[in-house]
Amino acid sequence: MAAATANAQDVYADLAPVLAQRCVMCHAGDAAPLGLRLDNFESLMKGSQKGPVVRPGDAAGSELIRRLKGQSQPRMPMTGPPFLSDAEIARFERWIAAGAPRGEAPAAAASSPPAAVRPAPGQPVTWAHVAPIFATRCAKCHAAEGLMGAPPEGYRLTSLAAALDASDRARVVPGRPDASELVRRVRGQARPRMPFDGPPWLADAQIRLIEDWVAQGARDAEGHASAVPAGAAVRLHGSLDARRWLDGLELVIGPDTRIDKSPAPGSYVEVRGRLDAVGNVRVERLRSR
């Protein structure tokens, strides 16, 4: 049975679910990259502003295959790795080699980009709610092979593990939105504001969703809260207020804190420090920028 399935000739309707799951989050609507929409057969066959990406009968000459294999860069999907499996790529190759048959029109289901949906009242915000925002607005740069080459600041937003990775420094501090440089960047408290190619910035509702996700413990898609990376370094940007707080975030300043150029209230500053076990920021260095 498995062998029969593998040998069966795919038609567009069989491949559409792969596109819907891995590509449509970016390749849909008016803002589709290079005008390439992958949410219906006609758009796929029409191609991008540069021309067709599927050349029926010529898999090797089709930009779609070249991007899936990484022969053209950046490799697709831009959120990879993981990229498509060899078996999945082979299905697209066989489909194009056979003339890219449409087959039965697939149901129009799952063909629009996922909107920023709030969980039902009383339900926590999880990675499943915020991941579409990062995929569509951030991952084109914050990926292994993004639009700017290497990920800016080495920071990838292509998976929960990457977003939370604190091995060089934490950009997301579970439970502490104000201590999270990611939240500061999308609010515009830290500059340059993200997304770097904005405006448009994120919608207020999207920013609130990300704030709530962090405040509720940066939960994974199953709803499990993430731990504070105690001891991890942080680097935050923002404006100092009269209490020497950073836009509402209390800074723990001790006798060992280095304070350069004695920043005045209202100054825009960079704070370097470490997290304690509950996510307070113990400041090592504070300086005007």
Least distance from C-beta 122 to ligand HEC, angstroms?
A: 27
Cα 289 to Cα 286: distance, rounded to the nearest angstrom: 10
**Nearer to ligand HEC (CB atom), residue 22 or residue 129:** 22
Minimum CB–partner distance for residue 192 and ligand HEC (Å): 5
- CA torsion 41-47-53-57 (nearest 10°) is 50
Q: Which residues bind ligand HEC (CB under 6 A)?
A: 22-23, 25-27, 33-34, 36, 38, 48, 50, 53, 63-64, 67-68, 74, 76-79, 84, 135, 137-142, 147-148, 152-153, 155, 157, 171, 181-182, 185-186, 192, 194-197, 202, 235
Per-residue tokens: 265: 């209230």
Nearest residue to 175 (alpha-carbon basis) of 281, 19, 102, 104: 281
What span, in angstroms and rounded, lies between the C-alpha atoms of 102 and 159? Answer: 33
Cβ-Cβ contacts under 8 Å for 109 (sequence gap 6 or more):
20
Nearer residue to ligand HEC within complex by CB, 100 or 182: 182
Q: How far apart are CA 93 and CA 232, in angstroms?
A: 45
Q: What's the closest the beta carbon of residue 19 comes to ligand HEC, in angstroms?
A: 6
Please identify, using beta-carbon distances, which residue of 264 and 289 lies nearer to ligand HEC: 289
Contact 169, 232 (CB under 8 A): yes
- Compare residues 39 and 63 and give the one whose CB is closer to ligand HEC: 63
Nearer to ligand HEC, 92 or 240 (CB): 92
In the complex, the smallest distance separating the C-beta of residue 37 from ligand HEC, rounded to whole angstroms, is 10
